Amino acid sequence: MGYVCRKHGIISATFYKCRATYGGHEVSDAKQLKTLEGENRKLKSLLAGP
């Protein structure tokens, strides 16, 4: 794993956190999850107001 982390410029903790979150998912599932998380963030900010 060290080589992969160095190649992409990330620390191993970040790699393992991402693997724990997205490990069992396909790429399309991960993209959809990221999209939904972004939409959720936008909705929360709208509800919170200024």
Tens of pLDDT, residue by residue over 22-40, are: 788 788 888 898 899 999 9
9, part of any domain: no
Spatial neighbors of 5 by CB under 8 A, at least 6 apart, are 11, 12, 14, 15
> What's the domain count of the chain?
1
> Residue 42 sits in which domain range?
25-50
Q: With 0.85 as the threshold, say if the pTM is over it.
A: no
Residue 48 is assigned to a structural domain of this protein: yes
Between the alpha carbon of residue 49 and those of residues 2, 10, 13, 38, 44, the distances in Å are 43, 35, 34, 17, 9
Q: Residue 37's pLDDT is what?
A: 94
The residue assigned the tokens 């790699």 is: 15
Higher pLDDT, 24 or 45: 45
The 10s digit of each residue's pLDDT in 5-16 is: 899 999 999 999
pLDDT at 45 over 80: yes
Within-domain flag for 10 = no
CB 15 within 8 A of CB 3: no
Query: Is 39 part of a structural domain of the chain?
Result: yes
Q: What is the pLDDT of residue 27?
A: 82
- Do residues 1 and 12 lie in contact, with contact meaning Cβ atoms separated by under 8 Å? yes
